[in-house]
Amino acid sequence: MVIIFGERIDMDDRYYWAALQIAVNLCYRSLYHLYRYFPSGRAVLEADIEDIKRVPHITPRVFERILQNRHKANPEQTADKLKKSGTQVTLLGDPNYPCALAQIADPPVILYTRGRLPKPTVPLLAVIGSRRATPYGKAIARRLAMDLVKLGWGVISGMARGIDTAAHEGALDGGGYTMAVFGCGINICYPRENKKLQERIEAEGCVLSEFPPDSGPHPRNFPIRNRIISGCSLGTLVIEAGERSGALITAYKALEQGRDVFAIPGSLTSKYSKGTNRLIKQGAKLVECVEDIIEEYPYLTWEIPPTPKKGSDPTLTLEESCVLRNLGLEPMHIDQLVEKTGLSVSAVGSILTLLEFKGLAKQLPGNYYINPEIELEPER
């Protein structure tokens, strides 16, 4: 069935579909098969048994569950509850439904959201990675997300600990758009420590789920959720992922969907880099800066921020200034910087990463660093 945007949707029909999904506890595949067969959610609730039997790919078990539970669906009650909670419902075929997501093989029929869905003119990049990210990985995620939004891109992730959280924060701190895709109902904050982050995303971007409100964060939900993260995006960037990281599931989903995959290279000895290094070996594009990503999309004409010029004075935190003051043309080991600044190894490592992105530090072999901005005095 070809979905013509703006022509399929009846404002009330979205609540029929939502009520049906909640009452019958339908998985995304069964709901999609019903959606393709019936003209409306109301038609499913009123259909004869024989009509439902003719729906392709509906198993006998699901068929029985529909017959036993569809009478419990109450669209009016569902609409009232969702509206009172500030939850918007977007149906596949709605003009607001993300166009890129509608093109995947198994798009979600219903999206429950708070905030604002992205404009069609805003390109999205998924930025994902390990929940147990290193300070280096989180610094990279934050900086790249910030650089992307300054070029007019939006950042999508899953609001998990680690890389996801850093990516959302970077996008928000850069004054840009970010969207978090949940593996549970959007009225459940998971993980709990991200409550303030969720509130920021709802206010400045969007939180989204195909799972109805009150759905718990069951482990089986997250691989299902991942296809939405990659499906909404032009490409997926993986920053730190172990050999069995869930981020790899999203990356492979992106490939199945015909989307680009990018990866940040990491240490050969780090367990957090085995997944990303393998992706690069398998053909993912190696990324060292934001230009490595946006050059893949020449039809998007965004202005690239200029590289800081020598003698420029970009805004630095006190800790960044402290590290920078100790960098010169003579290579300095990270341990020496730790000793001179009094900061922790992880803090110095994160700061050096940020300084590299600002063009104020350069890493040399053996964990040595210099400041490439300093010019040699001319010989007299």
CB atoms within 10 A of CB 334: 17
Q: Are residues 159 and 256 in the same domain?
A: yes
Domain enclosing residue 348, as ranges:
318-370
User: What pLDDT score does 13 carry?
Assistant: 94
Query: One-letter amino acid identity for 300?
Result: L
Contact 133, 169 (CB under 8 A): no
Tokens of 126: 């998924």
User: What pLDDT score does 373 carry?
Assistant: 67
Domain boundary among 30, 64, 83: 83
Q: Are residues 141 and 253 in the same domain?
A: yes
Question: What CATH number is given to the structural domain containing 337?
Answer: 1.10.10.10
What's the full length of the chain, in residues? 380
Q: Print burial letters for 85-96: b (CB count within 10 Å at least 16), e (below 16).
A: eebbbbbbbbeb
Q: Are residues 136 and 246 in the same domain?
A: yes
Residue 310 is assigned to a structural domain of this protein: no
The pTM of this model reads 0.79
Q: Are residues 231 and 170 in the same domain?
A: yes
Helix (H) or strand (E) holding 89: strand 88-91
Question: What CATH number is given to the structural domain containing 146?
Answer: 3.40.50.450
Q: Are residues 278 and 323 in the same domain?
A: no
Q: Are residues 48 and 153 in the same domain?
A: no
Q: Which of 341, 333, 328 is nearest to 370 (CA)?
A: 328
pLDDT tens per residue, range 130-141:
999 998 899 999
Helical segments of the chain, H only: 13-24, 28-37, 41-46, 49-53, 60-69, 75-84, 99-102, 135-150, 163-173, 195-204, 221-231, 246-256, 274-281, 291-294, 318-325, 334-341, 345-357
Q: Are residues 198 and 333 in the same domain?
A: no
* SS3 at position 206: strand
Domain count, the chain: 3
Residue 47 is assigned to a structural domain of this protein: yes
Residue 283 is assigned to a structural domain of this protein: yes
Q: Which of 319, 341, 155 is nearest to 232 (CA)?
A: 155
Contact 245, 158 (CB under 8 A): no
Residue 199 is assigned to a structural domain of this protein: yes
Q: Are residues 147 and 281 in the same domain?
A: yes
Residues in the chain where the model's pLDDT stays below 50 = 1-9, 11, 302-313, 375-380
Q: What Rg value do the Cα atoms of the chain yield, rounded?
A: 24
Query: d(Cα 102, Cα 91) in Å, to the nearest integer?
Result: 10
User: What pLDDT score does 364 carry?
Assistant: 86
Residue 267 is assigned to a structural domain of this protein: yes
Residue keyed to tokens 């459940």? 188
Q: Print burial letters for 58-68: b (CB count within 10 Å at least 16), e (below 16).
A: beeebeebbee
Domain boundary among 25, 56, 83: 83
HSE toward the beta carbon, residue 356, CA cutoff 13 A: 18
Q: Are residues 286 and 363 in the same domain?
A: no
Q: Are residues 243 and 154 in the same domain?
A: yes
Going by their DSSP bridges, the two strands 110-115 and 285-286 should be labelled as unpaired
* SS3 at position 352: helix
User: What pLDDT score does 319 carry?
Assistant: 75
Residue 312 is assigned to a structural domain of this protein: no
Query: d(Cα 184, Cα 74) in Å, to the nearest integer?
Result: 22
Q: Are residues 190 and 58 in the same domain?
A: no
Residue 100 is assigned to a structural domain of this protein: no
Residue 193 is assigned to a structural domain of this protein: yes
Q: Are residues 143 and 231 in the same domain?
A: yes
